[in-house]
């Protein structure tokens, strides 16, 4: 049973979210990626903790290669944090929750 509160988005929704959300956290992930499973609960925690102030979404890189390539990403997990539609922070690999929360704190 999965209790993900973070929705998966497709490429078509991505640009809309970028223009709409003040702070957008994007978790680039894949079903086969072990380390991504470690980042996933941290994204849920982030979404919970900051639910009124930012939006957290996931992008499955297998289904959305153009977005992945657009940001020059080569490995996952990769978390990109946007402020007002502009890339503000990139966190590659598994990181402690504090790294994600302090990154968004700076932008809120």
Q: Catalogue the active-site residues.
A: 33, 36
Q: Report which DSSP code applies to 58.
A: E
Torsion of CA 73, 13, 89, 93, to 10 degrees: -50
32 in helix, strand or coil?
coil
Q: What are the Cα distances from residue 34, in Å, to 19, 29, 53, 100?
A: 31, 10, 29, 19
* Of 101, 96, 69, 81, the residue nearest 26 (C-alpha): 81
Both tokens of 66, joined, read 């153009």
């Amino acid at each position: 049973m999965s209790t993900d509160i973070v929705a998966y988005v497709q490429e078509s929704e991505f640009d809309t979210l970028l223009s709409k959300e003040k702070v957008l956290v994007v978790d680039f992930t894949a079903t086969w990626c072990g380390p991504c499973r470690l980042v996933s609960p941290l994204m849920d925690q982030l979404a919970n903790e900051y639910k009124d102030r930012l939006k957290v979404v996931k992008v499955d890189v297998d289904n959305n290669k153009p977005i992945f390539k657009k940001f020059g990403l080569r490995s996952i997990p990769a978390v990109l944090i946007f402020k007002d539609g502009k890339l503000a922070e990139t966190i590659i690999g598994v990181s402690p929750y504090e790294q994600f929360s302090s990154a968004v704190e700076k932008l809120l």
